[in-house]
């Protein structure tokens, strides 16, 4: 068959061959698969009237269009499909209960609290935590693990309810965007003194889109001027009609602050669940569910809160969670107590995973550690590949606006690393919401993760020309030097709004960096000396650079910033005061901070004025 010609480029016809490409693939990925130089594909696209670069990630339609032109049948595979196929290759089905009707048993509803800012979502979650009606453990729930379960009595029967302990619809939608749904019922909090507000409407939209029934908590009824009936009237316009007005939505008047009628709200949740949903799961199968929150704990390692959605999770099970895997070493509930088994709708903190999964990752119990490792490694490889595929060039936050003006790029690429998956997601969510001035400019997050900034992060950022955002984390070992060498801009933040402000300023070309942090040196703590009246002194060895008295310092533990804004208050070498100690020498350092531990790193720096470029 004759090769079709596109403005002089000859590409052999695909003859209807099927090519499967991951969603967001680029011309270069496509070229690899059909053994054609991507530059030729760029020309074909030009011929089709579209300007795209070889490494740019393409929308489904473009991939299909190009395939059609070259006589290939393109199948775009979504990440969810890819994952399903991966699990199928191990004969695992995710998301389905095993067995038949007779294997299904009722499970408690899982609830998310949503509503407008300041209407009392957080306060309500606190109040519920303290009103564990049946068990009567006053103030019993002590740990924040991302979700908790309470019990309440309805018609003389003890009923359990699981609450996701992150208020607002952001986490809810972020999970849904990843194809995961944890929530069965939404509690919509509306302050009776304020009425329906923009985020109230947003929350309703999200709950409806997810097909999740709503229970309305009319809050702050203790406030003067509170008008619960007005809230009912307003909400009818959004299709939420109270039972007393002939509708099917439960409205409950409460005061989260004074703890009024919290049990009434819990009862309404149970009744709504009974009336609108048939929540059942098979407890007698391998457990499956979702990660809700995860972080790295120095003592305990990866700590992930998972919500069991079906099956029963047991200590000793081999599990995979996202690209983390391991054997469940221990499980803790919201009271910090050890639990041996977790049944459907039960949130538990799981210890024993190799690394930190992301919120929204699915978890599943598999036959043995080997299978767990294989699935995790394939997921990790796929993610790495996808990240590399999204990569292309190099940029810093300051010169980004310049490149933009030169018309070179219209996307600011970011890689986010943080100390907790919750904060990473919250940050990502907020950064993506920055209005970067119309359609021409956009912000894209090419990667995210929990823990120290690794060599892999820096390589990825370098190849993609992305900026790394470090939220309460630092580079591992000598990685900050590596980043310098590779020209990767790393920005450190410990407050979300600061990160947002700066990125927003960069996007709008308003960033005025006045001071720049310059690393002076770092020292590793080898021994702790307790000095009366002075506090703990860190017996350390200087690992690089120089430690200078009065320099600014921060304390880092496993790549995570434990304390910032410290000062080298005292510096001694063999009982003598020293002004500076160099690389390779031992010294005693006092930073005026007592929670120091062996193997912590003291990093010192100074702020230098930096010219605008
Ligand atoms: P969120 O932004 O929706 O999480 O709102 P918060 O739970 O942080 O509450 C916002 C403010 O309203 C706080 O100062 C609470 O103490 C107050 N608040 C919450 N519930 C009540 C209530 O029932 N009565 C009164 N008087 N104040 C409340």
Q: Say what the pLDDT of residue 348 is.
A: 95
Residue 597: give its domain's CATH number: 2.40.30.10
Whether the per-residue pLDDT at 523 is higher than 80: the answer is yes
Does residue 307 sit within a domain? no
Does residue 591 sit within a domain? yes
Res. 387 pLDDT band, cuts 50 70 90: low
β-strand 552-557 against 601-609: which pairing, if any? antiparallel
Does residue 400 sit within a domain? no
Q: Say what the pLDDT of residue 256 is.
A: 93
In the reported structure, the alpha carbon of residue 239 is separated from the centroid of ligand 1 by a whole-number distance in angstroms of: 26
Whether the per-residue pLDDT at 164 is higher than 80: the answer is yes
**169 in ligand 1 pocket by Cβ < 6 Å?**
no
Distances (CA, A) of 442 to 50, 57, 121, 529: 20, 14, 31, 51
In sequence order, what DSSP letters do the residues of 90-133 get, joined into one string? TT--SS---S-GGG-EE---EEEEEESTTSSHHHHHHHHHH--T
In the reported structure, the alpha carbon of residue 191 is separated from the centroid of ligand 1 by a whole-number distance in angstroms of: 8
In the reported structure, the alpha carbon of residue 370 is separated from the centroid of ligand 1 by a whole-number distance in angstroms of: 49
Model confidence pLDDT, tens digit, residues 310-334: 999 999 999 999 989 999 999 999 8
**220 in ligand 1 pocket by Cβ < 6 Å?**
yes
Same-domain check for residues 222 and 122: yes
Residue 420: give its domain's CATH number: 3.40.50.10050
Same-domain check for residues 501 and 548: no
> Across all residues in the chain, what is the average pLDDT?
85
In the reported structure, the alpha carbon of residue 120 is separated from the centroid of ligand 1 by a whole-number distance in angstroms of: 4
Same-domain check for residues 171 and 221: yes
Total residues belonging to the chain: 613
**Most ligand 1 atoms within 8 A of CB, residue of 115, 121, 123 to mutate:** 123
Same-domain check for residues 556 and 504: no
Model confidence pLDDT, tens digit, residues 218-231: 999 999 989 999 99
The predicted model gives 362-388 an average pLDDT of 85
Q: Say what the pLDDT of residue 93 is.
A: 84
Does residue 395 sit within a domain? no
**257 in ligand 1 pocket by Cβ < 6 Å?**
yes
Does residue 229 sit within a domain? yes
Whether the per-residue pLDDT at 195 is higher than 50: the answer is yes
Q: Where are the beta strands (DSSP E) in 135-226?
A: 147-154, 157-164, 185-191, 214-219
Is 176 or 558 the better-scoring residue by pLDDT?
558
**121 in ligand 1 pocket by Cβ < 6 Å?**
yes
Model confidence pLDDT, tens digit, residues 577-592: 888 999 889 999 999 8
The predicted model gives 89-103 an average pLDDT of 83
**Most ligand 1 atoms within 8 A of CB, residue of 170, 225, 257 to mutate:** 257
Q: Which of 353, 269, 272 is nearest to 305 (CA)?
A: 353
| Domain hosting residue 161, numbered range | 108-278
Burial classification of residue 150, based on how many CB atoms lie within 10 Å of its CB (0-12 exposed, 13-18 middle, 19 or more buried): buried
Same-domain check for residues 147 and 266: yes
Same-domain check for residues 164 and 25: no
Residue in the block written with tokens 């070179």 = 408
Same-domain check for residues 268 and 136: yes
In the reported structure, the alpha carbon of residue 257 is separated from the centroid of ligand 1 by a whole-number distance in angstroms of: 7
**Any idea what DSSP says for residue 459?**
H
Residue in the block written with tokens 């995210």 = 448
Q: Say what the pLDDT of residue 512 is.
A: 47
Does residue 388 sit within a domain? no
The answer to whether 453 and 418 have CB atoms below 8 angstroms apart is no
CA distance 368 to 311: 16
CA distance 373 to 383: 15
Highest mean pLDDT: which range of 45-59, 148-162, 599-613: 148-162
Q: Say what the pLDDT of residue 392 is.
A: 38
Does residue 329 sit within a domain? no
In the reported structure, the alpha carbon of residue 333 is separated from the centroid of ligand 1 by a whole-number distance in angstroms of: 27
Res. 612 pLDDT band, cuts 50 70 90: very low
In sequence order, what DSSP letters do the residues of 478-524 get, joined into one string? THHHHHHHTT--EEEESSHHHHHHHHHHHHTT-----EEEEEEEEEE
Q: Of 223, 252, 278, which marks where a domain is finished?
A: 278
Q: Say what the pLDDT of residue 321 is.
A: 94
Q: Of 476, 510, 544, which marks where a domain is finished?
A: 510
Same-domain check for residues 126 and 211: yes
Does residue 390 sit within a domain? no
Model confidence pLDDT, tens digit, residues 402-444: 655 555 556 788 899 998 888 888 888 888 887 755 555 678 8
Same-domain check for residues 522 and 494: no
Same-domain check for residues 117 and 56: no
| Residue of the CA atom closest to atom 28 of ligand 1 | 257
Residue in the block written with tokens 């439960």 = 250
The predicted model gives 292-304 an average pLDDT of 85
Tell me the percentage of the chain whose pLDDT exceeds 70.
Answer: 89
Q: Say what the pLDDT of residue 176 is.
A: 74
Q: Say what the pLDDT of residue 190 is.
A: 96
Same-domain check for residues 56 and 148: no
Q: Of 77, 93, 118, which marks where a domain is finished?
A: 77
Res. 609 pLDDT band, cuts 50 70 90: low
Residue 161: give its domain's CATH number: 3.40.50.300
Whether the per-residue pLDDT at 210 is higher than 80: the answer is yes
Same-domain check for residues 149 and 239: yes
Whether the per-residue pLDDT at 545 is higher than 60: the answer is yes
Total number of domains in the chain: 4
């Amino acid at each position: 068959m004759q090769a079709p010609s596109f403005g002089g480029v000859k590409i052999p016809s695909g003859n209807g061959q099927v090519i499967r490409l991951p969603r967001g693939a680029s011309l270069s990925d496509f070229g690899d698969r059909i053994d054609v130089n991507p530059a030729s594909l760029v020309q074909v696209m030009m011929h089709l009237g579209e300007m795209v670069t070889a490494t740019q990630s393409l929308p489904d339609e473009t991939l299909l269009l190009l395939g059609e032109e070259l006589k290939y049948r393109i199948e775009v595979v979504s990440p969810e499909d890819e994952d399903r196929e991966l699990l199928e290759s191990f004969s695992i089905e995710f998301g389905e209960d095993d067995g038949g009707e007779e294997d299904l048993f009722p499970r408690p509803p899982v609830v998310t609290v949503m509503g407008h800012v300041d209407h009392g979502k957080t306060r309500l979650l606190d109040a519920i935590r303290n009103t564990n009606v049946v068990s009567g453990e006053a103030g019993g729930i002590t740990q924040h693990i991302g979700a908790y379960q309470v019990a309440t009595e309805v018609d003389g029967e003890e009923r359990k309810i699981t609450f996701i302990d992150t208020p607002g619809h952001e986490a809810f939608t972020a999970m849904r965007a990843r194809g995961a749904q944890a929530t069965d019922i939404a509690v919509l909090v509306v302050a009776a003194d304020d009425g329906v507000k923009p985020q109230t409407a947003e929350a309703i939209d999200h709950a409806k889109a997810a097909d999740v029934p709503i229970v309305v908590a009319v809050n702050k009824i203790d406030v003067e001027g509170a008008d619960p009936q007005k809230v009912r009237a307003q909400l009818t316009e959004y299709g939420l009609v109270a039972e007393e007005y002939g509708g099917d939505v439960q409205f409950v008047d409460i005061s989260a602050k004074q703890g009024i009628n919290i049990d009434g709200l819990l009862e309404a949740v149970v009744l709504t669940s009974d009336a609108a949903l048939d929540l059942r799961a098979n407890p007698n199968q391998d457990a499956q569910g979702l990660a809700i929150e995860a972080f790295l704990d120095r003592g305990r390692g990866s700590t992930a809160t998972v919500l069991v959605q079906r099956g029963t999770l047991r200590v000793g099970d081999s599990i995979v969670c996202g690209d983390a895997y391991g054997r469940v070493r221990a499980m803790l509930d919201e009271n910090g107590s050890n639990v041996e088994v977790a049944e459907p709708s039960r949130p538990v903190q799981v210890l024993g995973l190799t690394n930190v999964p992301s919120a929204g990752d699915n978890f599943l119990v598999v036959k043995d550690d080997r299978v767990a490792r294989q699935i995790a490694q394939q997921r990790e490889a796929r993610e790495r590949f996808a990240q590399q595929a999204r990569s292309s060039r190099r940029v810093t936050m300051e010169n980004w606006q310049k490149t933009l003006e030169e018309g070179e790029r219209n996307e600011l690429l970011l890689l986010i690393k943080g100390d907790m998956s919750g904060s990473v997601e919250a940050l990502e969510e907020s950064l993506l919401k920055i209005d970067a001035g119309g359609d021409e400019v956009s912000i894209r997050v090419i990667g995210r993760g929990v823990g120290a900034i690794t060599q892999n992060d820096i390589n990825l950022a370098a190849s993609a020309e992305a900026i790394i955002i470090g939220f309460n984390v630092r580079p591992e070992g000598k990685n900050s030097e590596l980043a310098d060498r590779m020209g990767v801009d790393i920005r450190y933040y410990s407050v979300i709004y600061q990160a947002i402000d700066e990125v927003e300023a960069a996007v709008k070309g308003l960033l005025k960096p006045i001071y720049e942090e310059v690393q002076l040196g770092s020292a590793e703590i080898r021994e702790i000396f307790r000095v009366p009246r002075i506090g703990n002194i860190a017996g350390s060895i200087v690992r690089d650079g120089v430690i200078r008295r009065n320099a600014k310092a921060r304390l880092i533990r496993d790549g995570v910033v434990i304390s910032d804004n410290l000062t080298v208050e005292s510096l001694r070498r063999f009982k003598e005061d020293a002004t500076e100690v160099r690389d390779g020498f031992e010294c005693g350092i006092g930073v005026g901070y007592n929670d120091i531990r062996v193997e912590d790193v003291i990093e010192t720096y100074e702020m230098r004025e930096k010219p605008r470029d």
